Amino acid sequence: MTPEQEHDRNQQAIAFVAKLGAALQRYGTPANRLDEVLLFLSKELGLKGSFFSTPSAIFYSYDLPGERGFARLQRVYNKDLDLSKLSQLDRLFNDVWAGTVSLVDGAQRVDEITNDPPPYKKWLTFACFGSTSAMASTFFGGGAAEMLLSAATGSILGLLYLWAAANETIGRLFEPLGALLVSVTALSLAGTMGASSDIATLAGIIVLVPGFSIAIGATELALGHPASGVARLAGAMVTFLMLTMGVMFGQQITSFWGVDPSAGFTPSALPVWVEPIALLVAGLGLGILFKAARRDLPWTVAAVMLPYLAFQLGVADLGLEASIFIGALIAGVFSNVFARWKDRPSLIVRLPGILILVPGATGFLSLGDLANGDVLEGMQAMVRVLMTATALVTGFLVSNAVLPPRKAL
C-alpha cells in the first residue's frame, strides 16, 4: 500500500469512527462503553487513538505513523434514546469489523440509520404514555380510580411529547411544562374521580423521572469516567428540579381555582392478579417508548418481570439495599445472556430492568419534601436515593464479573 493509499484509508477509518461514535452517543451509549467501542474499533482498523467523552461531546486524538497526528472535538446534539437504532449500529459495527462492509459504505449507512423514521406510529407512542402511567400507578399503591386518572395524566404528557417532537421550542420546555400539565390535570380531576392526585401525578411523570441517568452516571463514576458521570448526574438533578417546579406551579394554579392540593383519597385495593398484568403492559410500553425493535419487545417485558419475580420470592425481605443489589445482579446477568445469545447490545434489555429498580421516584419525592419545607424528610429520602443507587451500580458491576458482556456494547 502506497503512502497516499494508506493516508486515504486512515482518513476513511477516522471518518467512520467519528460518525459511529456520535450516533452511538446520541442513542444512549454510556461513556464507559462508548470509549471501549471506539478504542477497540480503532485498533482493529490499524489506528492508534485516544478518546474522552462527555454526555454532549467526544474528544478524538490520533497518532498516525508517518503523518502528523491530530485531535478533534465533536459536539453531539439531538440526544434521543432509540434502542432500535442502537441495535442497527451494533450490527453495522460487526459488519465493518468483519470486513463485509467497507469504511465508506459504513459511514453512509450510519447516516441512513440516523435518518430512518421512528419504528412506531405516533398514535401507538401516544397510547403507551397513557397505558404506562396507568400501570405505574399500581406500583405506587394506586387503585382503580388512580389507574384511570394516571391514564389521563399520561395521555396529556403523550400529547405534549408529540407536539415537542415537531416544535424545538416546546422540546426545550418538555420536562417542566409536562410536569405542570400533569399536575394540573391530576389535581383538577382527582375530586371528581375520587382518586389520589399525588399517585396520579407521580405516575403521570414517571417516564420523565431521570432514573436511567442516575444509574448510568453513578456507573460512569464507579468505572473511572468522572467528567461524564458528574455531568450526567448534574443533568439528572436539573431535570428533578424542573419537574418539581412544574408540579408546584400546577398546585399553585389549581389553588386559584379552589382546589385543595392537600385533599386526598384512600386508594382502593386491587386484585393480586393486576400487578403482574401491569408489569406486562408496562414492559411493552417502555419498550415502545424507548423505540426497541418489535422483535425485542418480549425481552423488554422479561427484563421488567425478572426483578419483580425475584422480589416476590422473598428478595425484598432482605432489606432495600440488598434487594436492589440482587435485582440489579439478576437484570445485569440477564442482559449479558441476551447480548451473547442474540448478538445485540445488552442495553436493549438492561434499560427496562434499570427503570424498575432505580430510585428515581424517591429522588423526585425528596425534592418535593424539600420544596415544601420538610427538610428532614427530604434529606432522609435523598440519602435513600444515594444508597439504593450505589446498590444498583454494584449489582450491575458484579453481574459483569459473573458473566462478562459479549463485547463493549
At residue 315, the pLDDT reads: 62
> In this model, does residue 286 exceed pLDDT 90?
no
Instruction: Enter the C-alpha cell of residue 290.
Output: 424507548
Q: What is the pLDDT of residues 318-337, one digit of tens each?
A: 776 777 788 888 888 888 88
Rounded Cα gap, residues 30 and 266, in angstroms: 41
Pick the range with the lowest mean pLDDT from 35-39, 76-80, 143-147, 381-385.
Answer: 381-385
DSSP annotation of 266: P
Average pLDDT estimate for 205-225: 78
Helix, strand or coil, per DSSP, at residue 58: strand
Question: With bands split at pLDDT 50, 70 and 90, how would you rate the model's confidence at 162?
Answer: very high
> In this model, does residue 284 exceed pLDDT 80?
yes
At residue 360, the pLDDT reads: 46
Q: What is the pLDDT of residues 325-380, one digit of tens each?
A: 888 888 888 888 888 888 888 888 887 777 766 654 444 444 444 445 554 555 66
> In this model, does residue 304 exceed pLDDT 60?
yes
Q: Between 311 and 84, where is the model more confident?
A: 84
Closest by alpha carbon to 76, among 118, 115, 24? 24
> In this model, does residue 250 exceed pLDDT 70?
yes
Strand order in the sheet with 49-54: 49-54, 57-62, 70-75
Amino acid in position 293? A
Pick the range with the lowest mean pLDDT from 299-308, 310-319, 372-381.
Answer: 372-381
Rounded Cα gap, residues 62 and 159, in angstroms: 46
At residue 370, the pLDDT reads: 44
**Candidate ranges 9-13, 30-34, 182-186, 239-243; pick with highest mean pLDDT:** 182-186
Q: What is the pLDDT of residues 61-95, one digit of tens each?
A: 888 776 666 788 888 776 777 889 988 988 888 88
How high does pLDDT run on average in the chain?
81
- Cα 363 off chain centre by: 16
Q: Between 121 and 56, where is the model more confident?
A: 121
Average pLDDT estimate for 255-264: 69
Question: With bands split at pLDDT 50, 70 and 90, how would you rate the model's confidence at 151?
Answer: very high
At residue 356, the pLDDT reads: 67
Evaluate whether 378 touches 367 at the Cβ level (below 8 Å): yes
Alpha-carbon separation of residue 337 from 7, 24, 74, 349, 350 (angstroms)? 40, 21, 33, 10, 11
> In this model, does residue 124 exceed pLDDT 90?
yes
Cβ neighbours around 392 below 10 Å, total: 27
